[in-house]
Amino acid sequence: MTTVVDVAPATDRELVLARIIDAPREKVFRCWTDATLLPKWFAPLPWTTSSAKLDVRAGGSSLVVMRSPEGEEYPNPGLYLEVVPNEKLVFTDAFTEAWLPSGKPFMVGILTFEDIGGGKTKYTATVRHWSVEDRDTHEKMGFHGGWGLCTEQLEALAKTL
């Protein structure tokens, strides 16, 4: 099970989740960037991920489709802003493929993967929102619980690679 690390948000529009994951950062990063692996852990059960298309490079697009327990699908298009292999991923839903503006920008995700020795990774997910209201909405959607459960699923998968 992941170990919780207390990291305070830097602004009133951020949500932060930090964990120590018992797997090397190369494997944790791979789980985020391999379209065959991401669906195995990305949605908090009983939700699932029905598909993932990832062009993991700055300016590359992504499309991750989450499926509710009732079978409804929720597409999440986005764009990668920064990719530093095994260290950092920055993505946003403000743009979709080919830098087309999305209908309603909601967030920028910043993921860092820090090698802390012993085959473990300090994983920090910082999510910046356009407004305090968007941050509140994301928090009420279950950010900490949902992203926390997904991080445990991520760790379980990364340990098997």
Q: Could you tell me the pLDDT band of residue 56, with boundaries at 50, 70 and 90?
A: very high
Domains identified in the chain and CATH numbers: 3-158 (3.30.530.20)
Rounded to the nearest integer, the mean pLDDT of the chain is 96
What is the Cα–Cα distance from 79 to 92, expressed in whole angstroms? 6
More confident residue, 133 or 97: 133
Contact indicator for 78, 59 with CB cutoff of 8 Å: no
**Range 35-47 average pLDDT:** 97
pLDDT at residue 98, as a whole number:
85
Provide the 8-state DSSP code for 72: -
Q: Please state, in angstroms and rounded to a whole number, the distance separating the CA atoms of residues 161 and 147.
A: 21
What are 115-152's pLDDT values in tens digits?
999 999 999 999 999 999 999 999 999 999 999 999 99
Average pLDDT over residues 34-55: 97
Q: 59 CB contacts (<8 Å, ≥6 apart)?
A: 79, 80, 99
Task: Give me 139's structure tokens.
Answer: 């928090």
Confidence of residue 2 (pLDDT cuts 50, 70, 90): confident
In three-state secondary structure terms, 35 is coil
Cross-strand bridge partners of residue 63: 53, 77
Partners of 120 in the β-ladder:
117
Q: At what angle do helices 143-158 and 25-33 cross, to 10 degrees?
A: 110
Confidence of residue 97 (pLDDT cuts 50, 70, 90): confident
pLDDT given for residue 154 in this prediction: 98
Confidence (pTM): 0.95
Q: Which tokens go with 42?
A: 């990305």
pLDDT of residue 1: 73
Cα 36 to chain centroid distance, Å, stands at 15
Query: For position 64, what pLDDT does the model report?
Result: 98
